[in-house]
Structure 1
Amino acid sequence: MDFELLTIQDCPHSSAARELFSRAAELEGNDPALIEVRQITTDEEAEASGFHGSPTFMVDGIDLFPSMAEPAMTCRVYRTAGGLSGLPSLESLRQAIQARPAP
């Protein structure tokens, strides 16, 4: 699996997102060192990447949390048991990784 974390400059959740993605990948039997972190810098790049806000968690080029929102250079929120948050829960991220079909 190819893991990629997409962020924007000055995203307040970038570091925590990287730690969360690393933990989830590791718990699912993947090497967290293989996670690529890429900063989205233009609207055109957001469009081409299917980027719906920072942070975006991708596996094999697919957003783990599909969104109907237009691609945008913005912050992203996730639904959690505690309400909206800048990060998904570890459990929901693990479930999203598990749900990805094998290549």
Structure 2
Amino acid sequence: MNVTLLYFDDCPNWLDTDRDLRTIAAEHPQIVIERRLVETAEDADATGFRGSPSIIVDGVDPFADPDAPVGLSCRIYHTPSGPAGSPTLEQLRAAILGGLTTTP
């Protein structure tokens, strides 16, 4: 399983998401994490970047909001505690592991 973390440097929230993704990857070695820096508006358009951080699981954004604008901005996630700059560890686990099949 491939997970891509899209981010830009001006939004620090990606660091929390990166930490949580590392935790999940350590628990599930079959998960490969790639980090991709989005630097320009052109990069944002090309990737469909809807804010930092964005998590792409096997080519799909499990937190996608089709109404969110594409561009260099910090992204807001709806968490059990209210709006936040990144999803919770539990939300990430559900988004990633929900698509993970285990083999005996």
If the length of structure 2 is used for normalisation, what is the TM-score? Answer: 0.83
Take 2:12 and 2:76, find their aligned partners in 1: how far apart are those partners?
12
Are the equivalent residues in 2 in contact too, given 1:24–1:94 (CA < 8 A)?
A: yes
Moved more, 42-51 or 79-88: 42-51
**Which residue identity is paired with 1:50?**
G
Are the equivalent residues in 2 in contact too, given 1:25–1:31 (CA < 8 A)?
A: yes
Aligned to 1:58: 56
Dislocated runs of 4+, deviation >6 Å? none
Query: What is the percentage of aligned positions where both structures have the same residue?
Result: 38
**Which residue identity is paired with 2:22?**
S
Report the Cα offset of residue 4 of structure 1: 1.0
Kindly indicate whether residue 79 of structure 2 is the aligned counterpart of residue 80 of structure 1.
yes
Structure 2 unaligned residues grouped into runs of 5+ = none
**Which residue identity is paired with 1:77?**
I
SS in 2 for 1:65: coil
Q: Which has the larger radius of gyration?
A: 2
Kindly indicate whether residue 98 of structure 2 is the aligned counterpart of residue 99 of structure 1.
yes
Structure 1 unaligned residues grouped into runs of 5+ = none
Take 1:49 and 1:100, find their aligned partners in 2: how far apart are those partners?
22
Give the aligned CA root-mean-square deviation in angstroms: 1.9
Are the equivalent residues in 2 in contact too, given 1:25–1:94 (CA < 8 A)?
A: no
Are the equivalent residues in 2 in contact too, given 1:7–1:14 (CA < 8 A)?
A: yes
Report the Cα offset of residue 18 of structure 1: 0.7
**Which residue identity is paired with 1:6?**
L
SS in 1 for 2:43: helix
Kindly indicate whether residue 47 of structure 2 is the aligned counterpart of residue 49 of structure 1.
yes
- Figure out how many residues of one structure are paired with residues of the other and give that number: 100
Aligned to 1:16: 16
If the length of structure 1 is used for normalisation, what is the TM-score? Answer: 0.84
**Which residue identity is paired with 1:4?**
T
